[in-house]
């Protein structure tokens, strides 16, 4: 067990270094121009002097610091007392609407508490865990005199408009007994950001950035204008995007991942024009956007925006797996739609695709689903519309864009137009323009030439029509997976076989043989994949490392902290690199000829190419690479290796997948030993529904010292959230 623990510590360290190094080049929160946002609670008021008035009474520390304490009038005292009594009688502090305004989410092993970590978000000292104390303290603050504060805009009614609206709606507060701050800043901000609808937006998986490999979600607020409430209907890019993301406080690769996993970064909301997010994801990162219009009317959007103003610059400790962009946005949607329950579906972790599925399952909550293709998707759609000779011109342009002769030969005007449209999309794809990025000087004169040629054809471009329903994230299987497997272990020329059973659990996300609907083809992202194996008692000595009368045993057969395969096929126009990465441990039945089991732990990475047919129902990849690791086998305590991974995935139907995989490795130990392994496996997966799957497989592996092992298995998998 000590050796196993040492291996796991090594995994964690290596994983942190790899994640951090990638994240250093691709920060979790890309820079973007600022947009109207809520002011910090204390930003408007200087340090408060010693209180006058009831000097003997110790005043609580409020989110908005009072400059003085003005005693309430008798009418205000009476109104406050009546409101408190009604709130207690009706148990308003326990209502979901109040708890949601405080961002209190359900707990499992402890009492529920707010996910907000800023003390300035609460009036009561224990307001984070005591919604009743926070309600009474917040209610009292609404009665404070305007002159008690440095400026009217920081009065609690202005700083916490969502709470004030809640008190007005539920307690029927009389304006005659309340102060009347002007709240100019909030009114100006709200007039500029108000909307009459909202959409949940999912940005597709992006394996090249550790902070985005699980996808990303944000909310688009359908902006309205005072002079025309439907002004933005034809221009959604002018709407507002509301996002929650981590703001890293270090560039150290090691600390980046550690703090991200442990909640060491502050998470904050940001608001910016929607075209900024579209450029960032569609253009810069080549990620498709799926938008889910929500049944949230103007009243719900008003509640959402008022709450967003309250939380403004407050922070929520950001955790990659639970208090992340996906979970916090669900809490914001719950504020807008008080009749839905979304966050209670999750206790331990949540991914962006989980939130999309949960939202889509609520009857009537999603009114429409739209698709916005990335620059790469637009390019490939136009490329697929080309025919033989047209494709030759397009490929020639990608090879020598500066020297392209623009000599079209026998092509018609329509064919020329199609090729030129591909050229323009290719320039956009190569430049990856996003807000703040200057056009590449190389492409500017080329674009001008192509545009002149395109205008000369006088042909209208064909509309883009592709909407890959098979990749809609809400239609995909759930993230978590649990499975049971039974099978037989044997060896060439020996008998009898040894039965085994195993239990597998994987929190996320998807492998190449999983149901393909809802996920892009050629993507595998397994995180924390753990397999416990029980091997029955052996009665005869076999060649699989089990001596005669070996007792039954339960072992950790495999634990992969992370395994990624990005198999992106060549299209004829683009030839992206495919790559793989794995960090984990496995138990071997024999250690290079010795009749004992051992753990083999380490990291493997490689890169290569992938080919596929037009529909990607057939996909094949070859990924050579290197391994580094540790073993408790004395010849391979520390080793380096040359390795290669290959596979063919067939998808004759959405419900059926067939996969053939092979791996070979040549390990070199520090003491000069050199040993080889290779293995091959054939699996067939059948989906009976979105979240139920059966797999039948057989494998053969040849270890060093001729320890050939055969394995046959039957697995049942259940995906869940």
Q: How would DSSP label each residue in 94-116?
A: GSHHHHHHTTEE--SSS--EES-
- The pLDDT of residue 230 is 47
- The pLDDT of residue 635 is 72
Q: Does 5 fall in a domain?
A: no
Question: Number of structural domains, the chain?
Answer: 4
CA distances (Å), origin 226, targets 38, 229, 635:
21, 6, 76
What is the SS3 assignment for 647? strand
Q: Does 310 fall in a domain?
A: yes
Same domain for 513 and 431: no
The CATH number that applies at residue 716 is 2.40.160
Average pLDDT over residues 687-712: 85
Same domain for 176 and 201: no
Nearest to 68 by CA among 147, 13, 11: 147
Same domain for 694 and 652: yes
Residue with tokens 């790469």: 376
Q: How far apart are CA 244 and CA 689, in angstroms?
A: 33
Selected residue with higher pLDDT from 569 and 632: 569
- The pLDDT confidence band at residue 527, using thresholds 50, 70 and 90, is confident
Q: Does 694 fall in a domain?
A: yes
- Whether residue 152 is preceded by a cis peptide bond, meaning omega within 30 degrees of 0, is no
Domain range for 386 is 375-456
Q: How far apart are CA 321 and CA 424, in angstroms?
A: 39
Dump strand ranges (E) for 78-206: 104-105, 113-114, 195-203
Burial bucket for residue 205 (CB in 10 Å: 0-12, 13-18, 19+): buried
Same domain for 649 and 708: yes
Specify whether the backbone of 57 is left (phi greater than 0), alpha (psi in -120 to 50) or beta.
Answer: beta
Specify the pTM.
0.84
Residues ≥6 apart with Cβ < 8 Å to 167: 83, 138, 139, 142, 173
Same domain for 551 and 434: no
Same domain for 387 and 331: no
Q: How far apart are CA 335 and CA 655, in angstroms?
A: 38
For the beta carbon of residue 368, count every other beta carbon within 10 angstroms.
10
Selected residue with higher pLDDT from 589 and 86: 86
What is the SS3 assignment for 626? strand
- The pLDDT confidence band at residue 316, using thresholds 50, 70 and 90, is confident
Same domain for 135 and 96: yes
Q: Does 21 fall in a domain?
A: no
Per DSSP, what are the bridge partners of residue 605? 581, 626
> pLDDT tens-digit profile of 341-375?
988 877 667 788 888 999 999 999 999 999 999 99
Same domain for 642 and 553: yes
412, pLDDT greater than 80: yes
Same domain for 272 and 156: no
Residue with tokens 């083809």: 521
- Tell me the pLDDT of the chain averaged across its residues: 82
> pLDDT tens-digit profile of 589-620?
666 555 567 788 999 999 999 999 988 899 99
Q: How would DSSP label each residue in 669-688?
A: ETTS-EEEEEEEEEEEEEEE
What does the block give as tokens for 648?
């063919």
- The pLDDT of residue 45 is 28
Q: Which of 348, 372, 396 is the last residue of a domain?
A: 372
Q: Does 26 fall in a domain?
A: no
Same domain for 611 and 499: yes
Residues ≥6 apart with Cβ < 8 Å to 401: 423, 427, 443, 446
Same domain for 291 and 412: no
Task: State the number of CA atoms in the 13 A half-sphere of 137 facing the CB.
Answer: 20
Give 225-233 contacts, CB < 8 A, sequence gap 24+. Answer: 226/191, 229/196
- Whether residue 509 is preceded by a cis peptide bond, meaning omega within 30 degrees of 0, is yes
- The pLDDT of residue 209 is 66
Q: Does 277 fall in a domain?
A: yes
Q: How far apart are CA 663 and CA 613, in angstroms?
A: 23
Q: Does 240 fall in a domain?
A: yes
Task: State the number of CA atoms in the 13 A half-sphere of 176 facing the CB.
Answer: 4
Q: Which of 182, 213, 236 is the last residue of a domain?
A: 182
Same domain for 661 and 616: yes
Lowest mean pLDDT among 160-169, 279-288, 426-435: 426-435
- Distance, CA of 224 to chain centre: 29
Q: Which of 404, 421, 456 is the last residue of a domain?
A: 456
Whether 507 contacts 523, CB under 8 Å: no
Q: Does 382 fall in a domain?
A: yes
- Give percent of the chain with pLDDT exceeding 90: 50
> pLDDT tens-digit profile of 636-685?
788 899 999 999 999 998 899 999 999 999 988 887 788 888 899 999 99
Q: How far apart are CA 331 and CA 317, in angstroms?
A: 15
Average pLDDT over residues 239-254: 72
- The pLDDT of residue 324 is 58
């Amino acid at each position: 067990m000590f050796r196993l623990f040492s291996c796991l510590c090594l995994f964690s360290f290596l994983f942190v270094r790899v994640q951090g190094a990638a994240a250093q080049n691709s920060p979790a929160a890309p820079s973007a121009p600022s947009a109207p946002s809520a002011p910090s609670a204390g930003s408007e008021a200087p340090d408060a002097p010693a209180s006058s008035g009831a000097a003997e009474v110790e005043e609580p520390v409020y989110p908005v610091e009072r400059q003085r304490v003005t005693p309430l009038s008798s009418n205000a005292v009476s109104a406050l007392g009546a409101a408190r009594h009604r709130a207690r009688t009706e148990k308003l502090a326990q209502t979901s609407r109040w708890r949601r305004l405080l961002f209190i989410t359900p707990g499992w092993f402890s009492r529920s508490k707010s996910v907000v970590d800023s003390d300035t978000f609460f009036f009561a000292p224990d307001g984070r865990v005591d919604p009743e104390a926070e309600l009474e303290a917040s209610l009292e603050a609404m009665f404070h005199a305007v002159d008690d504060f440095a400026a009217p805009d920081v009065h609690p009614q202005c700083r916490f408009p969502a709470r004030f609206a809640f008190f007005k709606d539920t307690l029927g507060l009389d304006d005659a007994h309340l102060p009347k701050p002007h709240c100019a800043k909030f009114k100006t901000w709200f007039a500029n950001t108000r909307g009459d609808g909202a959409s949940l937006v999912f940005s597709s998986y992006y394996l090249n950035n550790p902070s985005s490999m699980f996808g990303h979600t944000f909310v688009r607020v359908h902006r309205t204008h005072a002079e025309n409430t439907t002004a933005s209907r034809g221009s959604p890019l002018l709407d507002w995007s509301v996002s929650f993301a981590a703001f890293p406080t270090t560039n150290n690769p090691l600390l980046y991942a550690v703090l991200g996993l442990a909640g060491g970064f502050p998470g904050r909301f940001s608001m910016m024009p929607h075209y900024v997010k579209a450029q960032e994801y569609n253009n810069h990162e080549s990620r498709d956007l799926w938008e889910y219009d929500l049944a949230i009317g103007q009243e719900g959007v008003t509640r959402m925006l008022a709450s967003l103003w309250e939380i403004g610059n407050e922070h929520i400790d950001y955790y990659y797996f639970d208090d992340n962009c996906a979970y916090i946005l669900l809490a914001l949607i719950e504020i807008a739609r008080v009749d839905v329950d979304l966050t209670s579906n999750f206790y331990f972790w949540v991914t962006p695709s989980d939130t999309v599925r949960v939202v889509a399952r609520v009857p009537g909550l999603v009114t429409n689903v739209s698709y916005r293709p990335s620059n790469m998707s637009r390019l490939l759609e136009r490329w697929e519309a080309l025919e033989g000779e047209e494709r030759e011109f397009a490929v020639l342009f990608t090879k020598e864009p500066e020297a392209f002769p623009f000599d079209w030969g026998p092509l018609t005007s329509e064919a020329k137009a199609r090729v030129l449209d591909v050229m323009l999309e290719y320039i956009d794809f190569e430049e990856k323009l996003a807000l703040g990025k200057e056009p590449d000087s190389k492409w500017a004169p080329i674009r001008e030439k192509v545009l002149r040629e395109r205008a000369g054809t006088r042909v209208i471009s064909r509309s883009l029509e592709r909407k890959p329903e098979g990749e809609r994230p809400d239609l995909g299987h759930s993230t978590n997976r649990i499975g049971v497997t039974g099978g037989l272990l044997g060896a060439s020329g020996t008998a009898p076989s040894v039965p085994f059973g195993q239990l597998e659990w994987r929190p996320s996300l998807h492998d190449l043989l999983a149901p393909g609907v809802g996920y892009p083809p050629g993507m595998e992202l397994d995180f924390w994949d753990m397999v416990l194996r029980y091997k029955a008692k052996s009665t005869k000595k076999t060649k699989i490392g089990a001596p005669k009368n070996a007792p039954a045993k339960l072992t950790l057969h495999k634990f992969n902290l992370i395994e990624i395969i990005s198999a992106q096929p060549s299209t004829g126009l683009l030839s992206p690199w495919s790559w793989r990465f794995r960090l984990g441990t496995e138990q071997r039945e024999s250690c290079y000829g010795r009749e004992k089991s051992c753990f083999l732990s380490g990291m493997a990475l490689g890169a290569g190419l992938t080919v596929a047919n037009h529909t990607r129902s057939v996909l094949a990849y070859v990924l050579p690479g290197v391994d580094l690791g540790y073993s408790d086998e004395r010849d391979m305590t520390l080793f380096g290796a040359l390795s290669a991974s290959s596979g063919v995935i067939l998808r004759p139907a959405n419900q059926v997948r067939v996969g053939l995989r092979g791996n070979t490795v040549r390990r070199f130990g520090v003491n000069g030993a050199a040993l080889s392994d290779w293995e091959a496996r054939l699996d067939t997966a059948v989906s009976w529904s979105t979240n139920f799957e059966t797999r039948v497989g057989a494998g053969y592996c040849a270890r060093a010292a001729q320890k050939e092992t055969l394995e046959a298995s039957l697995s049942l998998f259940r995906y869940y959230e």
